[in-house]
Structure 1
């Protein structure tokens, strides 16, 4: 296991590389927190179903100490999303934001994209000081602290007020594991000012056959009357693992629409936290995980209602085959001041093999008395009567099975609003389900 002495030595080396400032101070706080907590184990309730300590057995280099890698343009072309010519493309290579590989197509009056430390020491320093690192208040574990300890070459994204950004932002997280294992730790801070709108899409790709581990933290701040559409697509190599934390703070009455699609990888942990810090907020969280082989995917959500008259809705679905393991651990928190809250949570799962496993744990913690909240989960198998109905009408059993599974997933697929992106995800899912059907 990667020992504390090695991590401490790496941290000390990083301290000598950059100027003093808010980012350096935050790194120090992160490392102090890491020393206190260490890596989480299954004895930690929040990590009960997902063990990650084994990921550190590989002699992976901390990405902060890897010389900046080079990547040929063909490698980026292979991972580009549909509609990229009308999108702002941000590339993280081995966890480090690369301005040279990125393309900004929106006018500067609408969108600002800067290296995080440049923003922290320039005209946006007050915004960075106010919002960077706030995710640590609700995520007190060593993995999050490790990312904070090694913030380097992060990115700052700012959507100006009143700007309904027409070009989406595509973020490509690329790990170059062609020569050796990689531990990548991307860090992002996204500010959406009042009455602005952003469509944000993230993908993950590992090049090469070596192991990769991406420990990512993205902090998003949404001001009043602003809207966010957020899409995360995880279709990575079977040797690729991720702990991906997205921490969204709705500091004004605003709207969030988030969809997470997980299709492959080794160990995947998605932390999606939404903190409603103003009244009249609305958030809709959707998730779909279609797993086979030995993939383990853990969707860990938190919706924290701190103010009154807010609405949240969660709907996650899973299809598990082979020896795959899925986890849904969703918590709705309703604070004492959050009267008139409406909060709903549903998780549905289909198991296709005896060896497949799902652990589902919906939770409500309510400290207000005038609320409407519900949660529920189901775990079952494919409907044999429906399968018989289709095969009796001449549809081959494998195709009938795939059709039923696609219909099960359709509720989530339809929540992907951009048509080209929805078609792309549908194609990935169709390919995955037909493979499972063989």
Structure 2
């Protein structure tokens, strides 16, 4: 059975009420388009062929979930795939000048499709979590901010070692609005994350901090497009990658400055640690500039842990595994410190420690420190 046959079988296995006309139209569009091929430049390092090995019952949604039967124009095959199987999702507008104290946490479904609109001057936190052991999950979201709105957005992927994840987020940012986003990938067998940012009006801004740390045979691919369409917009992108074992990571970030987008201020930095000779990271930050009065920088670095720093720690009695964990956590901390709320940051930090050789010793030290603080 070929890949597309798998998806057709998964669709036909849904309850009759879930096989709506809109969903079937989406399925037909997906079958006609197919999955992206590695012959495409944007997919050259990520092959979705492993999806062919998944059984039909691993591809479909929770049959008890509500369905979205709204008509849609499909962007491409993956968009149609998500529309065919998406079961429930966030659909909300935050009223003008309203601040939400509690984060928005959409209910986890096998396939999700979200819409979030922040009206003028509103503020919110959104946590999109694709963790868990579900074999296959797609999450698509359209997020728009009106003038002066603020959003703290967290995308977490701490999926099981056999999990497959595809996400696509589209962010539209209006005048003087801002999105502060943190992306974290610590799990999964095959993950592809796309982020499209549209800085549509003067004063719009986006700050992106990301950490990808695949292990084992894991593969994670982050593709980011930032469109500066208006003057006086700002973008800051700082990603850090850590790869060990036979893991592979891909980062591709394009900042495009459109004509008339004068006074653009953009910075893109990607730093990577390769901790095993069999691990691989491909990182490519890019700039495409069509305006002449801009300030744009970009760069990527690759390396290993600092041997002098390791030697310093070892001479002070720190075991080698713990020393390597300390240095690796310091490298990751530049990203993790941006996660709010604190309980989410703590959980992500503990998960990162669990996949490191000296993680148990590090956690023991942390617990001892907390005990001493409680006694003082």
TM-score, normalisation: structure 1: 0.75
* 2:147 paired with 1:224: yes
Partner of 1:67: 63
**1:159 deviation in Å?**
1.1
Please list, as runs of the form range in 1=range in 2, the aligned pairs for 1:299-378 lying within 5 A after superposition.
299-378=222-301
Is the Cα contact below 8 Å between 1:14 and 1:150 reproduced in 2?
no
* 2:312 paired with 1:386: no
Please list, as runs of the form range in 1=range in 2, the aligned pairs for 1:242-261 lying within 5 A after superposition.
242-261=165-184
**1:253 deviation in Å?**
3.0
* 2:349 paired with 1:414: no
395 and 145 in structure 1: CA distance in 2 versus 1, 3 angstrom threshold: same
Q: Secondary structure at the match of 1:173?
A: coil
428 and 10 in structure 1: CA distance in 2 versus 1, 3 angstrom threshold: closer
Is the Cα contact below 8 Å between 2:200 and 2:228 reproduced in 1?
yes
CA separation in 1, counterparts of 2:241 and 2:215?
A: 11
Partner of 1:110: none
Partner of 1:181: none
Q: Over residues 326-377 of structure 1, what are the superposed CA-to-partner deviations in whole Å (9 max), with x where a residue is unaligned?
A: 1111111111132211111111000111000001111111122221111110
Partner of 2:88: 153
Partner of 1:196: 122
Q: Over residues 379-403 of structure 1, what are the superposed CA-to-partner deviations in whole Å (9 max), with x where a residue is unaligned?
A: 1111111100110111111111111
Q: Over residues 287-323 of structure 1, what are the superposed CA-to-partner deviations in whole Å (9 max), with x where a residue is unaligned?
A: 0012211111111111111111100010000111100
* 2:98 paired with 1:163: yes
Unaligned runs of 5+ in 1: 69-95, 98-114, 121-128, 175-183
CA separation in 1, counterparts of 2:25 and 2:287?
A: 31
**1:437 deviation in Å?**
9.0
Query: 166, 177, 187: which is aligned to 1:264?
Result: 187
Q: Secondary structure at the match of 2:132?
A: strand
Partner of 1:101: none
229 and 58 in structure 1: CA distance in 2 versus 1, 3 angstrom threshold: same
* 2:112 paired with 1:186: yes
Unaligned runs of 5+ in 2: 362-376
Partner of 2:46: 50
Q: Secondary structure at the match of 2:186?
A: strand
Higher mean C-alpha deviation, range 147-156 or range 330-339: 147-156
Partner of 1:214: 137
Partner of 2:374: none
Cα RMSD, aligned residues only: 2.8
Partner of 2:367: none
Is the Cα contact below 8 Å between 2:199 and 2:227 reproduced in 1?
yes
Q: Secondary structure at the match of 2:55?
A: coil
**1:431 deviation in Å?**
2.6
Is the Cα contact below 8 Å between 2:61 and 2:111 reproduced in 1?
no
TM-score, normalisation: structure 2: 0.87
Is the Cα contact below 8 Å between 2:180 and 2:206 reproduced in 1?
yes
Higher RCO (C-alpha under 8 Å, 6+ residues apart) = 1
**1:275 deviation in Å?**
1.0
Higher mean C-alpha deviation, range 54-63 or range 159-168: 54-63
